[in-house]
Amino acid sequence: MNIRESVLKAIAASGEDFLSGGQLAENLGVSRTAVWKAIKALEADGYLFDAVSGRGYRISPQNNRLSAELIRAELNSHEDREIIVFDEIDSTNNYAKKLASEGDSHGTVIAADKQSAGRGRLGRSFFSPSGTGLYMSVIIRPEISIEAAQLITSCAACAAAEALEGLCGRQVDVKWVNDLYMNGKKICGILTEASLSLETSSLDYAVIGIGMNVLSVRGIFSSELSEIAASVEDEAGVKISRNKLCAEILGRLDERLEGIENREFLEDYRRREILTGNVITASAGGERITGRAVGIDDSASLIVELEDGSRRALSSGEANLCRIKNKSSV
Ligand code: BTN
């Protein structure tokens, strides 16, 4: 680790407390000038510090630089998970899948400030501009049944919703299967990709890719995109640290995945889900259907009641409201 990385790690680890230049120099066994130069280099790289004479340095609450050190400093437990952060990458899911196929372990997280080819569900692209979003992919290797593996995406949606709600204090809804909504606008999408072992008919690994619009996207999203999607800051008026959010999601994901076999997250998922109770259209087995969404079953499938009273359980795909009902406002 070079001086720059050591200085950042030490300041990040001291959280809201100030760390003096002298203390830093002594702890790292370097000169105060070397510490000062490291701080200047970090500032030039986009990190924001509060520097107060007589007290020292700390990470500024306004800092918007995404970094592995800052994510690690926000984790609740002293985990040794691998955290890799890119300024720019094609897709964090692509990179995570490559690492997973090479044997990388459970818990590894890849995050990026920007994706040049972010991928969404159903072959769509996911717009991932710099400085505003959190794009992260987590490799998991849980020892769970194939039935439980099918619940990973909905489980992750609950984890991300809980994490965000805790930080911004506003209700976060889920739209089946795995979109997070705030005030009727999409603020987050999730793409889970899995590899099954044919030998053991079990899950080898899954990559959970989460893309959240965190800071204001006004002037960045096209007017077409702004009709359906927004950011947490624009909807809740709260600026959240992307590093903190990433750490919080990782913690909640661990907790939620623990209980996935017993479907512990389902109650929360049902409570948040916004299609339930509304007339929707969906594609099911190549056919377009319209009906009333009446609930979520134990496989996290959407139950749709058709006009003739028959019911269909949709396990994947996409459904949209025919009539808008915003759970946040009732
Ligand atoms: C969707 O809304 O259709 C899902 C979007 C998932 C986007 C995330 S961003 C991090 C990860 N990397 C990707 O290329 N996609 C996922």
pLDDT in tens, 36-62: 999 999 999 999 999 999 999 999 999
pLDDT of residue 330: 31
Q: Binning pLDDT at 50, 70 and 90, where does residue 1 land?
A: confident
Q: Is 40 in the pocket of ligand 1 (CB under 6 A)?
A: no
Pocket-testing residue among 85, 110, 119, ligand 1, by greatest number of atoms within 8 A of Cβ: 119
Residue with the smallest CA separation from ligand 1 atom 15 is 119
For residue 262, how far is its CA from the centre of ligand 1 (angstroms)? 27
Q: Is 92 in the pocket of ligand 1 (CB under 6 A)?
A: yes
Residue with the smallest CA separation from ligand 1 atom 16 is 209
For residue 204, how far is its CA from the centre of ligand 1 (angstroms)? 21
* 148 has a pLDDT exceeding 60: yes
The pLDDT tens digits for 75-133 are 977 678 999 999 999 999 999 999 999 999 999 999 999 999 999 999 999 999 999 99
Which atom of ligand 1 lies nearest, measured to the CA of 115?
Answer: 14
Q: Binning pLDDT at 50, 70 and 90, where does residue 239 land?
A: very high
Residue with the smallest CA separation from ligand 1 atom 9 is 211
Q: Is 119 in the pocket of ligand 1 (CB under 6 A)?
A: yes
Q: Is 191 in the pocket of ligand 1 (CB under 6 A)?
A: yes
- Region 294-323: mean pLDDT is 93
- Region 294-317: mean pLDDT is 95
pTM above 0.75, yes or no: yes
Q: Is 129 in the pocket of ligand 1 (CB under 6 A)?
A: no
**Are 216 and 233 within 8 A, CB to CB?**
yes
**Are 294 and 259 within 8 A, CB to CB?**
no
Q: Is 93 in the pocket of ligand 1 (CB under 6 A)?
A: yes
For residue 3, how far is its CA from the centre of ligand 1 (angstroms)? 35
* CA pair distance 27, 295, nearest whole angstrom: 57
* CA pair distance 108, 11, nearest whole angstrom: 23
Q: Binning pLDDT at 50, 70 and 90, where does residue 286 land?
A: confident
Residues of the chain with pLDDT > 90, as a percent, come to: 89
- Region 269-290: mean pLDDT is 93
pLDDT of residue 323: 56
Q: Is 63 in the pocket of ligand 1 (CB under 6 A)?
A: no
Which atom of ligand 1 lies nearest, measured to the CA of 118?
Answer: 14
Q: Binning pLDDT at 50, 70 and 90, where does residue 199 land?
A: confident
* 294 has a pLDDT exceeding 70: yes
- Region 255-275: mean pLDDT is 97
